Structure 1
């Protein structure tokens, strides 16, 4: 199964250009960490992005909540992505008909972009399960040229010829919940036990402004160690 191959092996054979770039970057930086920077000011976003940049493969942004957004923010984020060698994942959710996906693909594919479908969530009581998740997988199969993966809690590759990238939120090394319905799992649980590919961490990294870089380094190491263990277990 493709999930258990190395990131490098998967990148060499993946049909989606964005996924190929992502796998190559992950192997190059030895990182499967994505930091979700959900803050409301330009200054905070750029400061955190610069601090975690050396340790992440993907920076997940939520541009529509930045109160003082301007186009200079986009330019500076692009500069930081080049400086630290990471991809930018804009968390812009589209809840619409399948034709919207095709339309996004027509624009995004020539630019080397890709789309992730929200198949599962990590919060307690989430409705993203069962038939919803199954239909998300089928929709991805119908749009493989553009849809290269999922936001989900476990691997979605059911067929040998499939290689969907799974990015998993709700990752924590110190706590199991936050009192707001969020449920946390360790990088080992996500990568080794559930077959996820990328861990998404937010407040666990930048919650303490004085520990951002140290926590990013800590989570990067934990995620990469889990990946190496998964590869080792399935190479036997």
Structure 2
């Protein structure tokens, strides 16, 4: 394992340099966020209640750049688009500076994965910046998801708003010749006490001119911003903060292709992995990288991000932090940040139980962040 493609420019390049050479909007944003927060840590938030998930995201947000979710294992997930669980995670993502990655592993025919991505009660595309695909069905699954994302992107910013107003002008709004006065038919000053609406309509102006009864209906249509996955103006707007030093994430969505796995005895052969890379190159404006055990950049213009699960550190103070780590007995094999980032060229480590089961998860998250960042700095030859 770990061919360590150290001869590829991305292996030694800093995240800031790679951001400047990356055309994918979301990948560009993530690389700049990593450089800003000095973090290349993704938390695998494998918890089973919505309350615990939201609390965890808030506590771990300062240390991570990606929050990985499995919405279908969370009891009590609220699907409301503006106030539900996805919306709450969106607010925290803005506050702490991280992206949301729904680990859905789409793996069906094209029309099915499109519906799973954009429809149903979850509407994953609305709140998850990143999703992934298991390419066992072939390249068609990637193409179908890409098509759905483009359609969503083209119409998500705006929708047509229709406004209808109906009113009856008063007699004071017309001059002696029946022309409309400068104050206009709906000016507050035209509604003198004797002309204000009563329960049965406008009171006639018995002391003035005879008013003409005119009904005016105004229909206007305009394109206005709709509620976005950034959830602006939804949950306690005054409490929403934007992480300092960087703008909001772009509207563009990103796909990770499941190219390699850390589980023992998996069937992802070299031929399968090569096909994943080929599909990524064919959809560079949607595929931002891979779930893999190493960097898969090989051609000069490759700029994909590699995110790697199966990362664990020995307990603090016990053994070498760069050494081997035992598996979980259920097929999961573990590697340290030093090996995955420093030797194999992975960009982001994905950690779940190693943090969640710690006595103090926030403290442990910081330990993983420091070790993974140190491995990145050493790989790229930067000063520590």
Category of TM-score, reference length = shorter chain = over 0.9
Residue deviations 1:13-43 (CA, integer Å, cap 9, x gap) = 2010000000010000000000011111001
Contact 2:12–2:381 under 8 Å retained in 1: no
Which residue, 279, 292, 295 being the options, matches 1:139? 279
Say which is worse superposed, 101-110 or 210-219, in terms of deviation. Answer: 101-110
CA apart distance, 1:102:
2.8
Contact 1:156–1:166 under 8 Å retained in 2: yes
Rounded Cα–Cα distance in structure 2 between residues aligned with 1:80 and 1:129 = 38
**TM-score normalized by structure 2?**
0.59
Question: How many corresponding residue pairs?
Answer: 233
CA apart distance, 1:108:
5.7
2:105 corresponds to which residue?
Answer: 93
Which residue, 160, 175, 178 being the options, matches 2:328? 178
CA apart distance, 1:48:
1.3
Rounded Cα–Cα distance in structure 2 between residues aligned with 1:108 and 1:215 = 38
Gap change, CA 1:46 and 1:145, over 3 Å in 2: same
More helix by share: 1
CA apart distance, 1:109:
5.2
**Aligned residue runs from structure 1 range 29-178, under 5 A:** 29-70=37-78, 71=80, 72-96=84-108, 97-98=140-141, 99-107=143-151, 111-174=251-314, 175-178=325-328
Gap change, CA 1:108 and 1:187, over 3 Å in 2: farther
Contact 1:58–1:87 under 8 Å retained in 2: yes
Contact 1:48–1:212 under 8 Å retained in 2: no
Rounded Cα–Cα distance in structure 1 between residues aligned with 2:146 and 2:381 = 38
Residue deviations 1:130-183 (CA, integer Å, cap 9, x gap) = 211111111111111100100000111111111110000000001421111100
Rounded Cα–Cα distance in structure 1 between residues aligned with 2:153 and 2:16 = 22
Which residue, 179, 183, 190 being the options, matches 2:340? 190
Residue deviations 1:191-231 (CA, integer Å, cap 9, x gap) = 111010000000100113x4110110000000100000001
RMSD in angstroms over aligned alpha carbons?
1.5
2:188 corresponds to which residue?
Answer: none
**TM-score normalized by structure 1?**
0.94
Rounded Cα–Cα distance in structure 2 between residues aligned with 1:9 and 1:119 = 25
Rounded Cα–Cα distance in structure 2 between residues aligned with 1:89 and 1:107 = 20
1:93 aligns to what SS in structure 2? Answer: strand
1:181 aligns to what SS in structure 2? Answer: coil
2:59 aligns to what SS in structure 1? Answer: helix
Gap change, CA 1:38 and 1:151, over 3 Å in 2: same
Instruction: Look at both structures and tell me which one has the larger radius of gyration over its CA atoms.
Output: 2
Contact 2:11–2:379 under 8 Å retained in 1: no
Stretches of structure 2 lacking an aligned partner (at least 5 in a row)? 1-8, 109-139, 155-250, 315-324
Gap change, CA 1:229 and 1:80, over 3 Å in 2: same
CA apart distance, 1:103:
2.0
Rounded Cα–Cα distance in structure 1 between residues aligned with 2:20 and 2:364 = 31
Contact 1:119–1:129 under 8 Å retained in 2: no
1:91 aligns to what SS in structure 2? Answer: strand
Write out the 4+ residue segments of structure 1 that deviate beyond 3 Å after TM superposition.
Answer: 107-110
Residue deviations 1:100-135 (CA, integer Å, cap 9, x gap) = 233233146552111100000101011123211111
Rounded Cα–Cα distance in structure 2 between residues aligned with 1:133 and 1:107 = 28
